[in-house]
Amino acid sequence: MNAKRVVFVMAVATFTVALLLHLSPVRTAIAGSPQNNQDSGACSNLPGFSALKAAIATATAAETSGLNNQMWATLVNRDGVVCAVAFSGVNRGAQWPGSRVISAQKANTANAFSLDGSSSSNGSGQAAGLALSTANLYSAVQPGGSLYGLQHSNPVDTDVAYAAPSSSYGTPSDPMVGHKIGGVNVFGGGLALYATGHILVGGVGVSGDTSCADHNIAWRVRNALALDHMAATSSLPLVGGVSGDPAHPDNIIFDITPNPYGGTGISAGGFGHPPCLNTSGSNTLPPVQP
């Protein structure tokens, strides 16, 4: 290699290193910054940490079926930004550690696949909205189901889910707060949140027990937070659901019968959920509010 070529190669290498050093702080800043629409007001229309903490503690105490475990709860806004994470026990180890991220995943799922009346325009959409709980998705995502594969879409952002420090998990400074968690979960415990006027404002996810108990507790949390405005009013129709029960439009459905050919059971309506160990009471949950 002649001298001119050596000088040229060294110059290119020096420029490349300098460029990387110049850009790396920018890239780090972008990676560590809030994502789209994650400004300080992104959660202003949802309850804060203290309200969620009180609601999950009360709802967990009220549910004594299932395994009677302590629980995690997460709120996300309409864009899927985590707004609050809380647990019901005395410390973060008092409930299954793995359920923290699952609760966020459920909140994201219920929000991501529910609608309100704003979806209706130009002859398309849901005029009354459509609320789908994570429990409603179980049968549809089984092999051969109409939504098979949905559970593999929208993966959890693991950098957000497992960011340090662990000591902040379930506190007002939980590292998930202010970031989009992603994830799709297809068993009970996630519900869409509807504010006054049937406006969809986000989702709540609960995890830590059987999936049926998770659903029951999430339902009580939503009711305690007064974000279940789904019943018909003088000017608004009932928010749509698949349960067939106007007082509980996105309630868990138990209509699965054994498959005579083996494999997954068959849901009569296509949105059924399997029963859970020692869990009951979904038919006595409080009705949704107007």
Q: Locate the domains of the chain by residue range.
A: 1-33, 36-284
The three-class DSSP label of residue 201 is strand
CATH code of domain 36-284: 3.30.450.150
Query: How far, CA to CA in Å, does 265 sit from each of 123, 193, 262, 273?
Result: 36, 30, 8, 10
Residue 266 CA to residue 95 CA, distance in Å, equals: 33
131: left (phi over 0), alpha (psi -120 to 50) or beta: beta
Cα angle 205, 210, 215 (rounded to 5 degrees) comes to 40
Closest CA to 256 of 247, 246, 267, 270: 267
Eight-state DSSP code of residue 4? H
pLDDT on residue 27: 31
pLDDT on residue 261: 86
Dihedral sign (CA 126, 194, 219, 74): positive
Whether 30 and 240 have beta carbons less than 8 Å apart is answered as no
Closest CA to 60 of 208, 257, 181: 208
Query: How far, CA to CA in Å, does 276 sit from each of 213, 256, 281?
Result: 8, 12, 11
pLDDT on residue 92: 98
pLDDT on residue 260: 87
The three-class DSSP label of residue 221 is helix
Residue 129 CA to residue 118 CA, distance in Å, equals: 8
Each residue's pLDDT tens digit in the chain (290 positions)? 555 454 444 444 444 434 443 443 333 333 333 333 445 568 999 999 999 999 999 999 999 999 999 999 999 999 999 999 999 999 999 999 999 999 999 999 999 999 999 999 999 999 999 999 999 999 999 998 899 999 999 999 999 999 999 999 999 999 999 999 999 999 999 999 999 999 999 999 999 999 999 999 999 999 999 999 999 999 999 999 999 999 999 999 999 998 888 888 999 999 999 999 999 999 999 999 99
List of E strands, 38-118: 72-77, 82-87
Rg of the chain (C-alpha set): 23
Dihedral sign (CA 214, 220, 225, 227): positive
pLDDT on residue 117: 97
pLDDT on residue 61: 98
Whether 249 and 288 have beta carbons less than 8 Å apart is answered as yes
